[in-house]
Structure 1
Amino acid sequence: MAITTDLLNIATSGLRAQQTLLQTTGNNISNVNTEGYVRQRTSLEAEKNGGVGQSYTSRVLDQFALNQMRRDTSHFSELEAYYDKAQLLDEAFANSDASLSTSISKFFASLQTAADEPNNMAARSLVLGEGESLLGHFAYLSGYTQDLESDLNIEFESLTDRANSLIEKIADINQQIKITQSANVKDTPGVLMDQRDQAILELSELVGLQTQNRDDGSTLVYLDTGQALVMEDGTFNVFSISGDPDPNNKELRLYNGTRGVTINLPDTEVGGRIGGLYTYRDELLNDAQRSLGQISLALADAVNQQNHLGMDLDGQLGGDIFTLPTVAGMEYKDNSNLALRLNSRVEAGRANELTTADYKITINNATAGAPATADLTVEVLNPDGTAVTDINGSPLVFTYNGVNAGPGEWVSIADGLQVELPDAASYADGDAFLIQPTKYAAQYLDMNTVRGEDLALASPIRVSSDINNLGDTIIIGTSVTNTTVDATNTDPDTSAFTAAGSLQGPGAAPGGGVGAPAEIYFTAADTYEIRDSAGTVIVTVAGTNTLENLLGQGAAQAGWPAAWTALNDYPGYDFSLQGIPKAGDSFTLSFNTDGTDDNRNGLALANLENVDTLRRNASVAVGGTNQYTFHAAFSTTVGVIGEKVSSADIAYQAADAMLTHSKNWHESVSGVSLDEEAANLVRFQQAYAASARLLSTAQTLFDTILSAAR
């Protein structure tokens, strides 16, 4: 079939086509520095009757390169956020010029100096000064971590606001693209798509995401964890953050305003900068805060308890050197009454059981009475709210039924803690509270004394041998394990010590009849009597093959008073001998009156630095290998932070290289090359000039034909 050729139309279509090509090239050149701009290319179709037909302008884009750049952007931003924050924490904890370990060492060194000269008031004052300095160091580090936490929460707010703005922008551009593309299916709305892709790229810096392109031109956006951000129907989910019950522990959620649905998110798995910050908080910051609190509480309690076992410069039993804080429980928002309270504290003498865990306490069956009672369920939680498990993988949960409730009624629970339910029977079933005994504890320790005299450097017990002893036995050690004073003898923790600075006399010991052990009298080399201060025999130990812990051996005999056996630690002191005694040898135990030159308890105080005191692992019972020293605990914390910072640095450098590679890949496809565009400009100009020449020729021929026809 013959094709009718219209030279004028051919020339005109050529001009229009070359003009479009020149416009596309000019647009590319103009936007060479426009962020997110994807270069465009115009394709032409030839008409069957001659000339150029429809032109199509589209973006030059490799979707695989774009997706890879988004993934690498998310990964890099996540590691960058983690590394930057972790470095700040590492610098504070690993600073050798202001090391907490140095402060701990100075404090115990001052105790050693005071023990060397127990009557030296300057040495005693130095102990209190170093104690103040140590508490100040604890408070500084704890306050610093709290400032980091506050800054982190501000950044969470800012980043989620930015993410929500980008999500809304993407959803809005999607709608514009769908409308534009439905009106003109031939041309791609490049500017809108560039804006949307740039918004998605910026969003990928904040969270890890996946996209799905639709035939209508829209792009659906999902988190890497599968939750939708921008949906097909045009609706979208936005981020929200809140803390229940801890307002400082921000949790990430998705909220759909159209459907009224809230979705909890796995904070550390969302990727991007937000995910990196959550990982840093949950892996490093939370543990560092709680480790500081655990060390500070354990140290303060250990010093207090050891000081209790000594005698001060005034001849009195020792008291607390430090004051440990009481921590208010945080109520969950679903509680029946948000005005109800729960308080917690470390039980004296049990700080070695402390862990770095948090605890959720649920109250049931609160019953009125005198006192009121309640049932408790205690769940041991990690800082991120997940359950701490035992060695078999089962959640650690403890139940306590019928415990006393009311003001001043402190109930002992797991891991060295006590709780108080001051609102008695007002609690409803299911009311729950979160306690964080160690999170901020290091900031709220205080000195309980300003008197150097209150340091109980002496031992309150004195053992003396009779001058007429014939054996070669010598005293090789005394021990004091309990100095609790209770004149009524109803406290299960009572000891043989009295408030008057003596041992319980005849008839004053629990159960009556006899007094506290005050004499060891040997009737043979392997047999001895334990007597009170009146000489009354309390029990006889026969056939012994060791002279260690003589009172402890007596407590194992059938004749040991039942009232004493029922107590936790009576009389609270003991001693050991070495050598071979003779019949008639005796050793007298008494209160160490005027023993101000004694330094036995001072040495024990100084040695606490080397004692395995802190609990390592919440999943394993305290004791044995599950304990370590104050220095080892802090060194472990510093080491973990340093190790994670080092690993993060390596991963960060690798992610940076990967991002550079993917950016270059994307830019090589979609970026504007001025050299290429300049060459195209010359080529299209020549084609435009040729089309114009053709049009001029067509016009001349047409005029010639008209002239011939006249």
Structure 2
Amino acid sequence: MIRNTDLYTIAQSGLRASNTLLDTTGHNIANVNTEGYVRERTTFVTQLYGGVGRGTTERVINTFAQNQLRRDITEVGEHEIYSQRTSTVDNLFASEANSISKALSRFYASIQTATDEPTNMAARQLVLGEANSLVGQVGTMSEFLKTKEEELNLELESTINRANSLIESIAKLNDKIRVLEANNSYEEPGALKNERDKAIRDLAEIMSIETRQSGNDDGITMVNLTSGESLVLEDGTFNLFGLNGNPDIQYKNLELRSTGKPTSLRLAEVDVGGKMGGLFRYRSEVLDPARRELGQIALSMAAAMNEQNRLGMDYDQQLGSNIFQLPTVSGLNYAANSSLALTANARVSEDGARDLTSADYQVTIDAVTPGAPPTLDVTVALLNPDGSPVTDTAGTPITQTYTGLTAQAGTFEKVLGGIEIEFPDGAGYAVGDQFLFQPTKDAAADLEVQMTRPEDIALASPFRVDASINNFGDAELVSTTVTNTVVDNTAPFDPDTSAFDGAGGIQGPGVAPGGLVGAPASVVFTSATSYEVRDSANNVIVTVAGATDLNNLLQQAKGAPGYPAAWTALNDYPGYDFSLQGVPKAGDTFNISYNTDGLNDNRNGLELANLQNKDVVLSSNNGTTSRFSFQEKYANIVSDIGEKAAVADISLKAAEAMKDQSKNWFESVSGVSLDEEAANLVRYQQTYAASARVLTTAQTLFDTILGAVR
């Protein structure tokens, strides 16, 4: 091709090109320590008629390496914060100084000591001292976990504010980049793009995101959550995050709020990824379960101890009372309720220790029937802390519907899961109103020791069985059981009433339900396999024939013809029973009476101490249920948290290794190499000098031509 460009112009274009290359190299060298800087490269094309054309400066970047680094940053962000927070809780539960298991052991050891010497007041006082120590230990751990929830909420607020700031910054940088690229197609706005990439990388540390380039080739980068929700849009608009708690304002839910429309979208917190996802996962997998399971242990233990102590007789020869004060929990109103002034309360039922779960309870009003008193139809559903349903082995949500529940102050109605609920607002509820009960969340901190007198510890059994001195057979007493001590001597009787009259005796004729006969006061054998159950007036209550064994004689009598229908209609009457071994003779009699002066009796004390080894606490896992002792359940909590902490540490190390690899890959392409830039600097200096020499030659030739003309 014939070139028509003169040597002078060619030399000038060479000088300009070399100078631009030197500028780019110097810019790279100057920013070698600038965080987020991507090295730049200037390329030229040959002009059609000679010389060098205008250069284009652009960043050197591998999109695949950049995306992989961003994903690995997200993984490290999530595992790092999850591991740190989980380790804190693990250290609390694993610490010997904070061990609830040890406090439980000391408490039950004191009960055993008191049982060995039922009349020793010092031993009884030690029981109350250890009970207060146990409650204090449990309360301290519960308060620690509550503090961790408050810290978590503050950290979530801070993290979301940071994320929103980055999202807004990315959107603004997009606008600036769009304008600059439209005005200058030869020079990429590298500084702004580096700033935007750093903001995107910082955002990736907070949450899992994906980026897409605009199809208009205007430099715009759109940002989405990995789950698909848009954060930064092509038109310059953006969405921001927010927190909302409904009905529990302390349990923050993540929302995505549009800046252009008054709408919000609830997000699945554990799928967010990054630091934010790690915080939510820590709350869901560690903090909330530990808090509720600790409360479950405390409430189950206290309810079981109360229940067993009520089945005994104290040092004053009165029926036992409660040792612990169980907290009453107020229901949380949902925002959509007909009135936020409505109230509902719940507590663990007196016999609910074995049925109490660590779940939350959602109560929905299905129907309201006015009257005196008004009644409600409700549905009770078990929920996980995140609001998802608790399911059975078939994956079906666990719910139960109840009809005709009394709605008045002071009346608690039993529902599933070992709790009972009070609806004090009567007919003021509306269909669709919902309440959330969290009986185990703060229960450990709210538990108190109610008993103050050591005499009130019921170590003795409230009844005894004495063999008549005139017995001829070799049958002898082997065990007694008390299952109910509820006192009610007036019709209509409480369905839970027992045969104890509350005045140091058992109900006689005219007082016991039905009014015809009194409570069982003796068993008289008519043969080795038959016997009569009689009351305190020697009236025959029922005759049992063909007994195959001598276990639970009064329970066998319940199935015999003629057993009082008024007693069958009750839940557990008379509330006591006994078993014999040996062979009785006709006429052998075993007398049942209140355990008056039985101060050295320790039968109920043995039952109290044995609660330590009984499988009382209910546990659910993947829909299956099992029971554990208090200490086994606590050990499971410690083990579960320890396992999560160990796995989190391993996952963090693996994520950090992956991040290092992807960072090296990215830096090998986009990072500044001083060796390479130094070589370029020498090379471009030489090209600059050569172009200058060409320019000098052109000038010399021009001067020669001028001289010849003269």
**What band does the TM-score fall into relative to the shorter chain?**
over 0.9
Matched residue, 1:493: 496
The residue aligned with 1:474 is: 476
Aligned pairs for 1:327-338 (under 5 A) are 327-338=329-340
By how many angstroms is 1:397 displaced? 2.0
Tell me the CA shift for residue 59 of structure 1.
0.4
Change (3 A) 1:619 1:377: farther
Amino acid at match of 1:691: S
Give yes or no for contact 1:388–1:619 (8 Å, CA) kept in 2. Answer: no
Partners in 2 of 1:548 and 1:360 — Cα distance? 43
Match of 2:364 in 1: 362
Matches within 5 A, 1:412-423: 412-423=414-425
- Aligned position for 1:82: 82
Hey, what's the Cα distance between the residues in 1 that align with 2:35 and 2:314? 75
Q: Counterpart amino acid of 1:455?
A: I
The code of the aligned residue for 2:341 comes to A
SS, match of residue 584 in structure 2 = coil
Q: Secondary structure, in 3 states, of the residue corresponding to 2:641? A: helix
* Counterpart position of 1:697: 697
Which residue in 2 is equivalent to 1:562?
Answer: 565
Q: Which residue of 1 aligns with 2:526?
A: 523
Q: Structure 1 residue 365: deviation in Å?
A: 2.9
**SS of alignment partner, residue 88 of structure 1:** helix
1:50 is matched with 50
Q: Which residue of 2 aligns with 1:383?
A: 385
Q: Deviations over 1:172-209 (max 9, x none)?
A: 11111111111112221111110111000000000001
Asked if structure 2 preserves the Cα contact closer than 8 Å seen for 1:357 and 1:618, the reply is no
Contact 2:257 2:265 in 1 (8 A): yes
Distance in 2 separating the partners of 1:364 and 1:63: 56
Structure 1 contact 209–223 (Cα < 8 Å) conserved:
yes
CA distance in 1, matches of 2:67, 2:622: 43
Match of 2:535 in 1: 532
- Structure 1 pair 656–699 and aligned structure 2 pair: CA distance change class (3 A): same
Deviation at 1:542, TM superposition (A): 1.6
1:590-605 matched pairs, under 5 angstroms: 590-605=593-608
Runs of 4+ in 1 over 4 A off after TM superposition: 618-621
Per the alignment, in what secondary structure is the counterpart of residue 507 of structure 1? coil
Deviation at 1:707, TM superposition (A): 2.8
Unaligned runs of 5+ in 1: none
Q: Look up the match of 2:438.
A: 436
Range with bigger deviation, 305-314 or 181-190? 181-190
Alignment of 1:170-569 (within 5 A): 170-214=170-214, 215-489=217-491, 490-569=493-572
Contact 2:180-2:189 within 8 A present in 1 as well: yes
Q: Distance in 1 between matches of 2:40 and 2:459?
A: 85
Match for 1:352: what amino acid?
R
Distance 1:506 1:415, change over 3 A: same
The Cα of 1:612 is off from its aligned counterpart by: 0.9
- The CA deviation at 1:410 is 1.3
Alignment coverage as a number of residue pairs: 707
Compared with structure 1, are the counterparts of its residues 502 and 603 closer, same or farther at alpha carbon in structure 2 (3 Å cutoff)? same
Question: Do 1:39 and 1:671's aligned partners in 2 also have CA atoms closer than 8 Å?
Answer: yes
Is the 2:395–2:623 Cα contact (8 Å) retained in structure 1?
no
What does 1:127-166 align with in structure 2 at a 5 Å threshold?
127-166=127-166
In structure 1, give the amino acid aligned to 2:554.
Answer: L
CA contact (8 A) 1:289 1:439 kept: yes
Cα deviation code 1:641-687 (max 9, x no counterpart): 11111111111111010000000110111001111111111111121
The residue identity in structure 2 corresponding to 1:185 is S
1:588-642 CA distances to partner (integer Å, 9 max, x unpaired)? 1110111111000000000000111111228879xxx722211111111111111
* Equivalent residue, structure 2, for 1:587: 590
Q: TM-score, normalised by structure 2?
A: 0.98
- Secondary structure of the structure 1 residue equivalent to 2:314: coil
Q: Deviations over 1:133-153 (max 9, x none)?
A: 111111111111111111111
Shift of 1:368: 2.8
Q: Distance in 2 between matches of 1:586 and 1:178?
A: 103
Name the counterpart of 1:125: 125
Correspondence 1:574 to 2:573: no
Determine if contact 1:355/1:618 at 8 Å carries over to the other structure: no
> Equivalent residue of 1:456, what SS?
coil
Alpha-carbon distance between aligned partners in 2 of 1:150 and 1:249, rounded to the nearest angstrom: 10
Asked if the contact 1:408/1:422 (under 8 Å) is kept, the reply is: yes
| SS state at 1:295 partner | helix
Distance 1:360 1:562 in 2: 38
Q: Are 1:356 and 1:618, in contact at CA under 8 Å, matched by a contact in 2? A: no
Cα deviation per residue 1:25-78 (whole Å; 9 max; x = unaligned)?
Answer: 110011111110000011111223222111011101000000000000001111
2:610 alignment partner in structure 1: 607
Structure 1 position 637 matched with structure 2 position 637: yes
Q: SS at 1:52's partner residue?
A: coil
Structure 2 contact 10–52 (Cα < 8 Å) conserved = yes
Amino acid at match of 2:507: Q
Look up the equivalent residue of 1:69 and give its one-letter code: L
CA distance in 2, matches of 1:8, 1:2: 17
Give how far 1:703 is off: 2.3
Counterpart of 1:29 in structure 2 is 29
CA distance in 1, matches of 2:623, 2:287: 23
Partner of 2:619: 616
Structure 2 unaligned segments of length 5 or more: list them: none
CA contact (8 A) 1:309 1:483 kept: yes
Cα displacement string for residues 480-533 of structure 1 (whole angstroms, at most 9, x for unaligned residues): 111100121410111110121111123221101211111111122222111111
The 1-side partners of 2:708 and 2:442 are apart by 104
Q: CA 1:285 to 1:63, structure 2 compared with 1: closer, same or farther past 3 Å? A: same
1:104 and 2:104 aligned: yes
* Partner Cα distance (2:566, 2:343) in 1: 39
- Secondary structure in 2 matching 1:53: coil
**d(CA) in 1 for partners of 2:125 and 2:19?**
92
Per-residue CA deviations over 1:553-580 (Å, capped at 9, x if unaligned) read: 1111011111111111111111111111
> What amino acid sits opposite 1:8 in the alignment?
Y
Distance 2:42 2:564 in 1: 104
Q: CA deviation at 1:402?
A: 2.4
Is this contact kept in 1: 2:394–2:623, CA < 8 A?
A: no
The Cα of 1:425 is off from its aligned counterpart by 1.2
Which deviations, in whole Å up to 9, do the C-alpha atoms of 1:310-364 show, x marking residues without a partner?
A: 0000110000000000001111111121111111111111121011111211123
User: Residue type of the partner of 2:519?
Assistant: A
Distance in 1 (CA, whole Å) between partners of 2:657 and 2:626 is 42
Q: Are positions 1:658 and 2:658 aligned together?
A: yes
Q: Match of 1:616, SS?
A: strand
Q: Write the distance in 2 (CA, Å) between the matches of 1:582 and 1:375.
A: 56
